[in-house]
């Protein structure tokens, strides 16, 4: 697969977006679908799939070509995420977190030296980056950071812990960006900065992987920092701007999670259509009954509407216009669609929907976290209400 090409006006052409989408759709159908069910049951990280996605350039889609990326944009990334999630969300979130949380903070805020050191391997899928923000006592209140970092002899000394961190403990994880309190603001309050911590640094340990309800092929861990020392130049961006930097990254990430959610919602439609045409009850395929037809129609409407929402937010972002409000709407609408469609698909499948061997069972388990990660539904409503002046 080649990278997306830009027209003379600087915009990627519709034909190239479609070519990318189609290539990822084919990859998900041929390479992911046949193997992901067994990996999911065994809770194994899909290293072979990650390597193949890296060779396709998916981890470097919005990263500049000078750092080994594809030189594309966020819309291209989101198109890929939607197609991956139509088949499996663990694979999709591995790419989403690897790009949005692993690569993009470095690409957006890193020095030339930091970009040259970390981005080529991440963009090629040879390595994964992670972002350590959430803490056990923090949750949605990311500003309540307790992890600390102090300067000592030209080094940052980091102490604290993080939880629910994706891609942080794989065999190919290379670096984790960590938010830490580095002082006090002149007017009071915590000065929070972002610092790059290479995997394997003494004092930096990762827990065993969590036992999760869903996303079973995704790597998620708790991180511990005990007098971890890294060079002063590992500061990412401006000192004291770590929290603000993360918020801007989170706005972009909400569009990506919305696209992933739409993929899961559409996957539920795909599987339900197939099953409704095969399963017979009372002498007819269940798809001939209006109750099933209406349920699938509602599912399609949800997926279609949510897709319009994330694409609108993505287009505003590409046009350089404010998109925070639209990103929150997209994330809220799409995660709701994913959860509702997963529930309806499981109902259509009946008892078989409760079996791990069928994709809809996996979709049902994976859907709930979409209403929590990258900002809960309640946080999205808070942002929307704030935009309206409430």
Spatial separation of the C-alpha atoms in residues 157 and 147, rounded to whole Å: 11
Q: What is the DSSP string of 118-155?
A: HHHHHHTTSSEEEEE---TTTTT-GGG---EEEEETTE
Radius of gyration of the chain (CA): 21
Residue with tokens 């519709």: 14
Task: Determine the distance from the C-alpha atom of residue 54 to the mean position of all C-alpha atoms in its chain, rounded to a whole number.
Answer: 16
Q: Give, in order, the Cα–Cα distances in Å from 85 to each of 5, 17, 347, 377.
A: 24, 17, 20, 20
If you ran DSSP here, which 8-state letter would residue 1 be given?
Answer: -
Spatial separation of the C-alpha atoms in residues 98 and 258, rounded to whole Å: 16
Are the C-beta atoms of residues 24 and 79 closer than 8 Å to each other?
A: yes
Q: How many CB atoms within 10 Å of residue 100?
A: 26
Q: How many CB atoms within 10 Å of residue 152?
A: 11
Q: Which of 266, 287, 165 is nearest to 218 (CA)?
A: 165
Pair type for strands 280-281 and 173-184: unpaired
Residue with tokens 């470097």: 60
Q: Give, in order, the Cα–Cα distances in Å from 268 to each of 37, 87, 157, 200, 276.
A: 15, 9, 47, 40, 12
Residue in 222, 326, 374, 378 annotated catalytic: 374
Crossing angle of helices 33-42 and 359-367, in 10° steps, is 60
Q: How many CB atoms within 10 Å of residue 186?
A: 8
Are the C-beta atoms of residues 193 and 242 closer than 8 Å to each other?
A: yes
- Does residue 280 carry a catalytic annotation? no
Three-state DSSP state, 284? strand
Token readout for 147 is 């992890």
Are the C-beta atoms of residues 387 and 324 closer than 8 Å to each other?
A: yes
Phi then psi dihedrals of residue 73, to 5 deg: -140, 180
Which residues have a catalytic role annotated? 374
């Amino acid at each position: 697969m080649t990278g997306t090409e830009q027209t003379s006006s600087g915009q990627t052409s519709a034909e190239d977006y479609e070519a990318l989408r189609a290539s990822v759709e084919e990859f998900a159908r041929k390479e992911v679908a046949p193997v992901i069910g067994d990996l999911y049951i065994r809770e194994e990280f899909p290293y072979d799939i990650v390597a193949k996605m890296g060779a396709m350039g998916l981890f470097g889609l919005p990263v500049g070509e000078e750092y080994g990326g594809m030189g594309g944009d966020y819309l291209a990334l989101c198109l890929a995420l939607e197609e991956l999630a139509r088949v499996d969300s663990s694979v999709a979130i591995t790419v989403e977190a690897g790009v949005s949380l692993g690569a993009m903070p470095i690409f957006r805020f890193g020095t030339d030296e930091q970009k040259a050191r970390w981005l080529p391997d991440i963009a090629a899928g040879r390595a994964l980056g992670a972002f350590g923000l959430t803490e056990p006592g923090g949750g949605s209140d990311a500003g309540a950071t307790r992890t600390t970092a102090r300067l000592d002899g030209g080094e940052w000394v980091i102490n604290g812990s993080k939880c629910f961190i994706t891609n942080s403990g794989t065999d190919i994880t290379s670096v984790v960006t960590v938010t830490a309190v580095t002082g006090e603001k002149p007017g009071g309050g915590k000065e929070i900065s972002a610092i790059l911590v290479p995997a394997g640094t003494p004092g930096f340990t990762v827990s065993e992987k969590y036992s999760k309800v869903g996303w079973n092929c995704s790597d998620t861990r708790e991180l511990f920092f005990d007098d971890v020392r890294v060079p002063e130049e590992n500061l990412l961006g401006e000192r004291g701007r770590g929290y603000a930097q993360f918020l801007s990254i989170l706005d972009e990430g909400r569009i990506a999670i919305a696209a992933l959610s739409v993929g899961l919602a559409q996957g539920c439609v795909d599987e339900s259509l197939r099953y409704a045409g095969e399963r017979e009850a009372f002498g007819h395929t269940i798809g001939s009954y209006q109750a099933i037809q209406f349920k699938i129609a509602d599912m399609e409407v949800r997926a279609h509407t949510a897709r319009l929402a994330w694409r609108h937010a993505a287009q505003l972002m590409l046009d350089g216009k404010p998109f925070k409000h639209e990103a929150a709407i997209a994330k809220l609408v799409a995660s709701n669609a994913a959860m509702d469609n997963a529930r309806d698909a499981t109902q259509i499948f009946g008892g078989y929907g409760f079996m791990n061997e069928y994709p809809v069972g996996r979709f049902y388990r994976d859907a709930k976290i979409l209403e929590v990660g990258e900002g809960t539904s309640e946080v999205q409503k808070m942002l929307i209400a704030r935009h309206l002046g409430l």
